[in-house]
Amino acid sequence: RKEVEQDPGPFNVPEGATVAFNCTYSNSASQSFFWYRQDCRKEPKLLMSVYSSGNEDGRFTAQLNRASQYISLLIRDSKLSDSATYLCVVNYIGNQFYFGTGTSLTVIP
């Protein structure tokens, strides 16, 4: 079983739509959680950390459910510039970082 699992998509949504991605992790001892964004043929960049209480950054909302071991990312009012691959990242004790395979999003005009 993979440490971190994501639906690879692709998700094709119209501009202005709301889209949600989920990610599940296998190790209940996981400590930290992140969403990274990766544009085509570019390096990953941190989008946001995910906190237990949930957190919001503009149009982006991240949620953590420790009991069910999943993380979610909600994007509201999608923009063309949101088109990218979104990577779920989980950190275990000892600083081992595990990346999911990524979820591909294309926002259509």
Partner 1 sequence: EAGVAQSPRYKIIEKRQSVAFWCNPISGHATLYWYQQILGQGPKLLIQFQNNGVVDDSQLPKDRFSAERLKGVDSTLKIQPAKLEDSAVYLCASSLGTGNTDTQYFGPGTRLTVL
Which residues would be at the binding site for partner 1 (CB under 8 A)? 4, 8, 31-32, 42-46, 49, 87, 91, 93-102
Q: How far is the CB of 49 from partner 1 (least distance, A)?
A: 7
Please give the Cα distance from 52 to 6 (Å, whole number): 19
Q: How far is the CB of 101 from partner 1 (least distance, A)?
A: 5
If 0-12 CB within 10 Å is exposed, 13-18 middle and 19+ buried, where does residue 31 land? exposed
Q: How far is the CB of 15 from partner 1 (least distance, A)?
A: 26
Rank residues 49 and 106 by Cβ distance to partner 1 and give the closer one: 49
